[in-house]
Structure 1
Amino acid sequence: MRVFLCNSSSSSLFPPPPTPTARRPQKPLLATPQNPSFIRSLTGAALSFNLLFFSPLSPLPPPSIASDFTSSGSQLECREEDQRIEEERRLERAPELVTNEEIVKEAWQIVNDSFLDTDRNRWSPEAWLQKKEDIIGTSLQTRSKAHDVIRRMLSTLGDPYTRFLSPSEFSKMARYDMSGIGVNLREIPDENGEVKLKVLGLILDGPAHAAGVRQGDELLSVNGVNLKGKSAFEALSILQGPSDTSVNIMVKHGNCGPIQSVDVQRQLVAKTPVFYRLEQMDNGKTSVGYMRLKEFNALARKDLVTGEILTAMKRLQGMGASFFILDLRDNLGGLVQEGIEIAKLFLNEGETVIYTAGRETLNVKSIVAETEPLITTPVIVLVNKNTASASEIVATALHDNCRAILVGEKTYGKGLIQSVFELHDGSGVVVTVGKYVTPNHLDINGNGIDPDYKKLPAWNEVVERLSKCQKQQSKDT
């Protein structure tokens, strides 16, 4: 059910945005295989942990797309079979680097050191140690068996967010675009042990995808430079160039497909997640700056979301906006740091954005704004049941500091922090390591945030409510 937020003076101004498509997070930190690597702390709606690894970097396209470069359905099947065989080969080689038992113990240790039991009744150090002793006596003859043991081990935690990632799942999550044409490359050993470069990630509607490159294709050359024996990093260095310039690539469509020369135009493939406009209300007497933020996703360049919202706020101010509406409906979250930085744009120096709490009860830290706010005018934040994670951080930061009122319906209630760790064989574990608490000390997770109003109030009512909130806050401090 959708809630249409309206009043008599603005019933058609802000219809709810369309239901968002599944997304996955971008641009994790690079990881090395020598040590378990903390990739990034993330949060996301329960209905979307895969959402959260949101991604224009897509799985194999449907046959209607892939068939553009296959002569028959059998070649598509061949490609899928090639990928399956390569994955199995890679898993078979993995024991040369680390034993099956060591991989399981590595995952066990990460949970032992980092896991936060939000239920406070499913996990204990003693029970977890017993789990390790049980594992030691288990025969793990294959890597697949080891991965199954890790999955079962994590399932006993009772945490829907803590889970295992296979090597292929981890590689999909860890991709980001360094190429400038919207592809991710990975080095894959062939049957002779030599390295070939395969396209294991594509940004939908990016330059390479639009030119006909598909996931699973092998990259053979760039601008006539043969890539045989070259690393993925070397290939990416050749691919990179100024935006709007062209690069020629030679690709082989699957292990048994045709070879094709493709010209691709480089471009910044990230699309702005911010939409804004100036609205006139009260018969043209009031100018309102409306900003819709679809997601927190810094794909392709650092601080994309913060920069775009900053630009929107400045432009709307220059156009005469005296009030602001920030639309976070159906924003399922994403990169939490982006949400924190956006909240700071509205807060006074020293005001609390959010508290973070870890496993130790005394380990509570506050994140505060370091500068003065960009705007001080009243703000309405639109929320609904799909407002989650980083979006809830923004909403509560503005609300609890008397900077905004919330309008709509109760938010989702996702306030947990997940960290993603890489294991030595290229697989990974996602572990809940902490939670967020609002400036008013509300535990978001499982509770959500109740709005102040279900429908848009008059602006004089907004001003009055925020004024009372600020006066009360001053008395309390």
Structure 2
Amino acid sequence: MRVFLCTSSPSPLPSPPPPPQTTITNHLTHPFKTPSFIHSLTTTALSLTLFFTPLTPVTPPPSLALDNPSSGYPTECREEEKLRDEVEVRSGMVSNEEIVNEAWQIVNDGFLGSDRTRWSPELWLRKKDDIMSRSLPTRSKAHDVIRRMLSSLGDPYTRFLSPEEFSKMSKYDTSGIGVNLREIPDENGEVKLKVLGLILDGPAYAAGVRQGDELLSVSGVDVKGKSAFEALSLIQGPSDTSVNIMVKHGNCGPVQSVDVQRQLIAKTPVFYRLEQMDNGKTSVGYVRLKEFNALARKDLVTAMKRLQDMGASVFVLDLRDNLGGLVQEGIEIAKLFLNKGETVIYTAGREPQNVKSIVAETGPLITNPVIVLVNKNTASASEIVATALHDNCRAILVGEKTYGKGLIQSVFELHDGSGVVVTVGKYVTPNHLDINGNGVDPDYKKFPAWNEVAERLSKCHKLQG
């Protein structure tokens, strides 16, 4: 079962050094500094869009069972439960050979390989014939075979996950209440939001939410037709505050209003301040974004609005040493600066014709000139934001060449609870630059004068026009 789409920040990338105390500066009276009082934040190596936690369904507590007796279920609901039980039984009986074949097939169907000497459909088929001719007496042996099989591809991001590793990864919480949502089309083609996973003993589970429940509203806001990201944004909020959600238990169960206590582990990744430049003639809004976690977009919007209210006329977005985080957060943050219809990023798969574009749906939050600070540890989601703003003439890039991580991984669950992470695509910038392995060159190594920034952006617009 395919669980979620993600892109991982480079695993061989070492932890970034402490943020430099002085940044690139030239014409500015006051160099931008990273103050020592910024809260220490944990940098994550994961760059995820949306995580779905396929935990084993939990039997509802007695209170819910009484409200929803199985004897009152329509026939089709009882049939669904029966089928689900049968699937669980079959999963427990899957053979070692079937597990290996399942992993082989996933790679065969979607892997994006760049090294033709190590990957081709013909080579992969010969590998299957060789593997399936061997004896696989134990599950441990089957897992070892899968590891070696994936390692032979020469892709550092395609890898095997043990059941323990898969469970740990899939419990990554983006909501703050311990649920993960997935968009499921109904029979009419409309999107429904289903709870595909719960953090065991998390706030939502303790409040009575169960796997398979449909999310109907958040704090009175109907989520019908909304994306999972939009719903999660409504759910998120300060730790130790509560949010009301309306859920429908299963396909045929009752509707319940639930108050859930938020317990966000994530800390704000945003630091901001106002700088006065050119003897007070220019007010610069400086925003440092440490990582793209569940609070990034919401806190960045707050920071930008406050800086605008304080009189900021130009902005500096500092993405140095930002290894990534939630890719969907990065995409949504990039949209804040773009005009409706402008391209954030292209995604490309194994077939060249399968290129898809992600575009901004609304107008920008700000239209002021922007400088984006980057360095060699600016990776993944950070590179998406930097290139989206740069290629759409919304910002210039200052600093060092970025890391160059632009691959897309999908994570698939195998029938024994283990999983495989497989590279299935890559990101391409609006100007059609392949980020992966190349990185992005800055426009300037040293901080330019503001008139240079305005002139360069104006020239960019004219060239594109």
TM-score between both structures, scaled by the size of structure 2 = 0.68
Establish whether residue 132 from structure 1 lines up as the match of residue 121 from structure 2: no
**CA deviation vs aligned residue, 1:182-203 (integer Å, no higher than 9, x gap):** 899xxxxxxxxxxxxxxxx99x
| Superposition deviation, residue 99 in structure 1 | 1.1
Q: Which amino acid in the other structure matches residue 270 of structure 1?
A: A
Aligned counterparts of 2:208 and 2:365: Cα–Cα separation in 1: 39
**CA deviation vs aligned residue, 1:350-377 (integer Å, no higher than 9, x gap):** 1111111100011111111111111111
Q: Which amino acid in the other structure matches residue 393 of structure 1?
A: I
Alignment partner, residue 359 of structure 1 = 350
Alignment partner, residue 48 of structure 1 = none
Q: Is the 8 A contact 1:383 1:408 kept in 2?
A: yes
Which of the numbers 349, 368, 377 marks the counterpart of 2:359? 368
| Superposition deviation, residue 9 in structure 1 | 2.7
Alignment of 1:49-448 (within 5 A): 96-177=92-173, 236-238=205-207, 244=240, 267-298=263-294, 304-448=295-439
Alignment partner, residue 86 of structure 2 = none
Aligned counterparts of 1:456 and 1:275: Cα–Cα separation in 2: 20
Q: Which amino acid in the other structure matches residue 117 of structure 1?
A: G
Which of the numbers 442, 455, 461 marks the counterpart of 2:446? 455
Query: 1:163/1:311 Cα in 2 relative to 1: closer, same or farther (>3 Å)?
Result: same
Q: Is the 8 A contact 2:44 2:291 kept in 1?
A: no
Aligned counterparts of 1:235 and 1:413: Cα–Cα separation in 2: 38
Aligned counterparts of 1:270 and 1:235: Cα–Cα separation in 2: 17
Alignment partner, residue 38 of structure 1 = none
Q: Is the 8 A contact 1:33 1:423 kept in 2?
A: no
Q: Is the 8 A contact 1:286 1:322 kept in 2?
A: yes
Aligned counterparts of 1:114 and 1:471: Cα–Cα separation in 2: 40
**CA deviation vs aligned residue, 1:376-411 (integer Å, no higher than 9, x gap):** 110000000000111101101111111100000000
**CA deviation vs aligned residue, 1:267-286 (integer Å, no higher than 9, x gap):** 43331111111111112211
Residue 161 of structure 1 aligns to a residue whose secondary structure is coil
Which of the numbers 14, 20, 24 marks the counterpart of 1:5? 24
Aligned counterparts of 1:131 and 1:4: Cα–Cα separation in 2: 51
Aligned counterparts of 1:13 and 1:315: Cα–Cα separation in 2: 19
Query: 1:429/1:33 Cα in 2 relative to 1: closer, same or farther (>3 Å)?
Result: farther
Alignment partner, residue 257 of structure 2 = none
Structure 2: stretches of 5+ with no match in the other structure: 1-16, 58-88, 181-197, 210-237, 243-260
Residue 411 of structure 1 aligns to a residue whose secondary structure is coil
Which of the numbers 38, 42, 51 marks the counterpart of 1:28? 51
Q: Which amino acid in the other structure matches residue 330 of structure 1?
A: D
Q: Which amino acid in the other structure matches residue 390 of structure 1?
A: A
Aligned counterparts of 2:176 and 2:359: Cα–Cα separation in 1: 35
Residue 334 of structure 1 aligns to a residue whose secondary structure is coil
Q: Is the 8 A contact 1:378 1:404 kept in 2?
A: yes
**CA deviation vs aligned residue, 1:6-63 (integer Å, no higher than 9, x gap):** 12434532349999755254761132679xxxxxxxxxxxxxxxxxxxxxxxxxxxxx
| Superposition deviation, residue 131 in structure 1 | 1.2
Q: Which amino acid in the other structure matches residue 23 of structure 1?
A: T
| Superposition deviation, residue 238 in structure 1 | 4.8
Q: Which deviates further from its counterpart, 388-397 or 96-105?
A: 96-105
Aligned counterparts of 1:245 and 1:7: Cα–Cα separation in 2: 45
Query: 1:363/1:245 Cα in 2 relative to 1: closer, same or farther (>3 Å)?
Result: closer
TM-score between both structures, scaled by the size of structure 1 = 0.67
Establish whether residue 472 from structure 1 lines up as the match of residue 441 from structure 2: no
Q: Is the 8 A contact 1:273 1:294 kept in 2?
A: yes
| Superposition deviation, residue 4 in structure 1 | 3.2
| Superposition deviation, residue 179 in structure 1 | 10
Computed over aligned residues only, the root mean square deviation of the Cα atoms, in angstroms, reads 3.2
Query: 1:289/1:239 Cα in 2 relative to 1: closer, same or farther (>3 Å)?
Result: farther
Matched residues, percent identical?
75
Q: Is the 8 A contact 1:5 1:14 kept in 2?
A: no
Q: Is the 8 A contact 1:94 1:425 kept in 2?
A: no
Residue 317 of structure 2 aligns to a residue whose secondary structure is strand
**CA deviation vs aligned residue, 1:68-92 (integer Å, no higher than 9, x gap):** xxxxxxxxxxxxxxxxxxxxxxxxx
Query: 1:16/1:428 Cα in 2 relative to 1: closer, same or farther (>3 Å)?
Result: farther
Q: Which deviates further from its counterpart, 415-424 or 8-17?
A: 8-17
Residue 463 of structure 1 aligns to a residue whose secondary structure is helix
Query: 1:308/1:16 Cα in 2 relative to 1: closer, same or farther (>3 Å)?
Result: same
Equivalent residue pairs, number: 348
